[in-house]
């Protein structure tokens, strides 16, 4: 298949990277939340802050939905550009291979940091589970779970490609027209919110579960498939992307209001005496918030970042590496401060700052112009800030 060139969608590229970088903020804050998280996060600092609960719950609400919308968009671009075979080859190189290479490198330090943090807090550090290898018996994909979920979606998309090519053109035009209505009208947005609210009802929490095993929970895949499919269809109707930037304020405002309602339900928990009512209200608020924020955030990035900016482009390139390696650093910094009596907000700021600096500096000197950079970014880049490129083929993460 002849390779076609597509211009770089700078706004959506920056959007995808920003959602990754928000992971550094999220994972730097989660050790200091008041809410019990159990096995979802195995360390809680002695000093906590409700403000950080709000930060964590809010970011977790929209971050991965927005990311999967962007991932679906770029996946559709690659499929159209390279065909099914080239699409899978690209995704194996850029997604599955980094997962296979980096998981064995980052997972042991993650567990060791958790063990050390809990030991430091209690005054007794026992690293036996690490040295004996016992921790591998309960190993998970940790923060790299989304790469595996993406590979599942990519495989499904490639398998369906031959069938999709046989769909009559009139049906495709109808699908595209219907999607355009959904993506550009209030009624369509409310419909998407209702659909996502339904997918949230089976979750174990009021919101999106995270499945970190090689056999992801079906409820999680179904929920994220909605966002991925939306992004895929958005590429087919990429003519409506620019108008997103002209009307981002209203959905952002509605999304913020719905987020406040969601945070009241999940953090303040005024309906905890009536679990069914709490779940219904919480899932409805979450569904509305997620989709309003998707429309609002996509529109904001289109409005502000449609044109290339060297620093933004550099951070977009760096975000993949920074996210992959950040978690053991974030937990390690928290572990180092476990015995400190500093306020939770101070510890959080130290953790997120140290994590950002270490991951960014390591990207600059160890990754960007090296073979690792070619693996993660599709090519080696010079360490200088990138210059704007009028058009190029985009190999998306």
Least confident interval from 20-24, 69-73, 129-133, 162-166:
129-133
Q: How many CA atoms lie within 13 A of 242 on its CB side?
A: 2
Q: Summarize the confidence of residues 198-223 as an average pLDDT.
A: 95
C-beta separation of 390 from 368 below 8 A: no
> Residue with structure tokens 């595996």?
148
Supply the pLDDT for residue 391. Answer: 43
CA angle (150 as vertex; 65, 170 as ends), nearest 5: 80
354 HSE (CA, 13 A, CB side): 20
In the predicted model, what is the mean pLDDT of residues 241-248? 87
What is residue 306's predicted lDDT score, i.e. its pLDDT?
86
pLDDT in tens, 255-294: 999 999 999 999 888 898 899 999 999 999 999 999 999 9
* Domain residue ranges of the chain, discontinuous segments joined by +: 10-377
C-alpha span between 49 and 31 (Å, rounded):
10
Q: Are 58 and 144 in contact (CB under 8 A)?
A: no
Q: Does 389 have pLDDT greater than 60? A: no
pTM score of the predicted model: 0.93
For the chain, what percent of residues have pLDDT higher than 90?
A: 76
CB 83 within 8 A of CB 300: no
The CA distance from 343 to 321, in Å, is: 30
């Amino acid at each position: 298949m002849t390779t076609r060139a597509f211009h770089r969608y700078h706004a959506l590229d920056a959007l995808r990277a920003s959602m990754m970088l928000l992971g550094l903020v999220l994972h730097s804050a989660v050790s200091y939340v008041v809410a019990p998280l159990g096995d979802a996060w195995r360390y809680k600092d002695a000093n906590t802050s409700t403000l950080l609960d709000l930060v964590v719950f809010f970011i977790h609400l929209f971050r991965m939905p927005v990311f999967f919308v962007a991932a679906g968009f770029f996946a559709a671009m690659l499929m159209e550009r390279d065909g099914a075979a080239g699409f899978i080859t690209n995704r194996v190189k850029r997604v599955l291979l980094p997962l296979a290479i980096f998981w064995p490198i980052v997972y042991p330090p993650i567990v060791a940091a958790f063990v050390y943090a809990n030991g430091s807090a209690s005054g007794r550090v026992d690293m036996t589970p690490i040295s004996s290898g016992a921790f591998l018996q309960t190993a998970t994909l940790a923060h790299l779970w989304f790469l595996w979920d993406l590979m599942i979606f990519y495989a499904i998309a490639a398998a369906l490609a031959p069938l999709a090519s046989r769909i009559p053109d009139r049906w495709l035009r109808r699908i595209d027209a219907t999607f355009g209505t959904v993506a550009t009208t209030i009624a369509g947005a409310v419909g998407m919110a209702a659909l996502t609210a339904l997918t949230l009802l089976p979750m174990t929490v009021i919101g999106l579960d995270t499945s970190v095993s090689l056999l992801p929970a079906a409820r999680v895949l179904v929920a994220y498939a909605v966002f991925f499919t939306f992004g895929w269809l958005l590429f087919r109707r990429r003519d409506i992307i620019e108008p997103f930037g002209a009307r981002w304020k209203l959905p952002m405002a509605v999304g913020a209001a719905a987020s406040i309602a969601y945070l009241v339900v999940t953090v303040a928990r005024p309906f905890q005496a009536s679990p069914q009512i709490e779940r219904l209200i919480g899932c409805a608020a979450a569904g509305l918030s997620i989709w309003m924020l998707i429309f609002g955030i996509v529109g904001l990035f289109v409005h502000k970042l449609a044109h290339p900016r060297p620093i933004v482009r550099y951070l977009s390139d760096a975000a993949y590496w920074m996210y992959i390696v950040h978690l053991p650093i974030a937990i390690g910094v928290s572990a180092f401060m476990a015995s400190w009596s500093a306020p939770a907000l101070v510890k959080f700021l130290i953790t997120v700052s140290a994590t950002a600096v270490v991951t960014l500096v390591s990207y600059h000197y160890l990754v960007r112009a090296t073979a690792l950079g070619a693996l993660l970014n599709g090519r080696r880049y010079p360490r200088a800030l990138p210059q704007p490129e009028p058009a190029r083929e985009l190999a998306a993460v």
